[in-house]
């Protein structure tokens, strides 16, 4: 299949070792990758906001818009494909403070905090992350190798 773009508020799962999941413009948004290296299935979400309570109707139609609805959906889909929770390798990028230098809304920080709470409650650890700061990021996930990279104005790093 090749390059699969994960747009804002989207969740994508893939078995195809030819696939590369990529999401662009992670500012305050968070990108999460999950990978089961045994069955080689992977997924990615690009969520915008921490909590769906501000718009339950939007969350019902687009669960990937919010951390509290999208992240559990990502894991449900992964487990439905045969992934095992204890084997999942989770990597995270984003959560910057781009337009909110005075930290009035703190969306990026709140997005990362709620993700950590969700994962902690489900006994899932974050293996690597590149979050915070004031830079936009691109998150890239190669299914064949499980390699996850983050690209920004600072360059490209492997998580």
Q: What is the CATH number of the domain that holds 76?
A: 3.30.1330.200
For the question of residue 29 being annotated catalytic, the response is yes
Q: What is the pTM of this model?
A: 0.93
Q: Report strand pairing: 148-152 vs 155-158.
A: antiparallel
pLDDT digits (tens, 9 = 90+) for 140-149: 999 999 999 9
Structural domain that includes position 63: 3-158
Structural domain total, the chain: 1
pLDDT of residue 105: 66
DSSP category for residue 53: G
Q: Which two tokens stand for residue 54?
A: 């501000």
Beta carbons within 8 Å of 135's beta carbon, 6+ residues apart = 96, 98, 152, 153, 154
How is the beta sheet containing 137-142 ordered, strand by strand?
3-5, 20-26, 137-142, 148-152, 155-158
- Catalytic member of 29, 89, 92, 148: 29
DSSP category for residue 91: E
pLDDT of residue 106: 84
pLDDT of residue 104: 57
Alpha-carbon span 106 to 120, nearest angstrom: 21
Instruction: Please list the ranges in the chain whose pLDDT falls under 70.
Output: 1, 99-105
pLDDT of residue 37: 97
pLDDT of residue 97: 86
């Amino acid at each position: 299949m090749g390059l699969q773009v994960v747009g804002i508020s989207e969740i994508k799962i893939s078995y195809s070792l030819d696939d590369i999941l990529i999401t662009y413009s992670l500012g305050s948004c968070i990108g999460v990758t999950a990978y089961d290296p045994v069955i080689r299935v992977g997924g990615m979400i690009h969520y915008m906001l921490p909590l769906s309570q501000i718009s339950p109707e939007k969350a019902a139609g687009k669960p990937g818009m919010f951390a509290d609805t999208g992240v559990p959906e990502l894991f449900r889909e992964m487990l439905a494909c045969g992934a095992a929770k204890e084997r999942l390798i989770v990597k995270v990028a984003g959560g910057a403070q781009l337009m909110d230098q005075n930290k009035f809304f703190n969306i990026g920080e709140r997005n990362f905090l709620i993700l950590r709470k969700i994962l902690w409650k489900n006994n899932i650890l974050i293996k690597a992350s590149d979050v915070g700061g004031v830079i936009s990021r691109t998150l890239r996930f190669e299914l064949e190798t499980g390699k996850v990279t983050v690209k920004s104005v600072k360059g490209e790093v492997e998580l």
